[in-house]
Amino acid sequence: MTSQKIKSGSGFNEAGATTSASPVGVSGTLAGDITRSAVPADGYRYSTEPTFGIISAAAATVELVAGVPGRQIEVLNYTFVSDTPTTVTWKSSTTAISGGMTFGINGGATVNDNDASLRTNVGESLSITNSAGNINGHFAYRVV
């Protein structure tokens, strides 16, 4: 086994902080540390791991996640149950991003997906509107 470093190809060269390299050896290097804040500018997701939140809403519109300037919020999964007949709508700030979902007493929904099932507009908060009674549950999201 040899201890030679990669001189060309694609991928990382841990010794020289090479971020990418072409077959002809043209590469880019980083002047400082890699930080999480540098990732979005490179076209990658802002967060790859989901964050979890609680759904608890009376008959009102409730902000679940505050908007992030220049980013969208993706809902990956959710579960909630209503205690009375109601209609529930997911929103990007005040704009509906789902149709009104009508449920009877003790009705609810479960959506489980590793891809985004709903996405806000850029910079807008994620909200949910409940028309009557109470809904309670949980959801997972990521900022992209």
Whether residues 15 and 60 share a domain: the answer is no
Tokens at residue 106, please?
Answer: 């003790």
Residue 138 · residue 68 · CB < 8 Å: no
- Tokens of residue 139, six digits: 């959801």
Residue-level pLDDT at 48: 72
Provide the residue range defining the domain that includes 58.
Answer: 51-143
Domain count, the chain: 2
- Is 42 inside any structural domain? no
- Residue reference for tokens 């967060």: 47
Which of helix, strand or coil describes residue 111? strand
Alpha helices in 1-144 (DSSP H): none
Q: Per DSSP, what are the bridge partners of residue 126?
A: 65, 92
Copy the structure tokens of residue 90.
């997911």
Identify the pLDDT of residue 136.
Answer: 97
* Count, residues in the chain: 144
- Report percent pLDDT > 90 for the chain: 60
Same-domain check for residues 85 and 55: yes
Predicted model pTM:
0.67
The yes-or-no verdict on residue 98 having pLDDT over 60 is yes
Return d(Cα 37, Cα 34) in angstroms, integer.
9
Which pair of tokens denotes residue 116? 């985004």
Chain mean pLDDT for the chain: 79
Residue 46 falls inside a structural domain: no
* Residue 13: DSSP 8-state: B
Query: Is 3 part of a structural domain of the chain?
Result: yes
Q: What does the block give as tokens for 36?
A: 């999480």
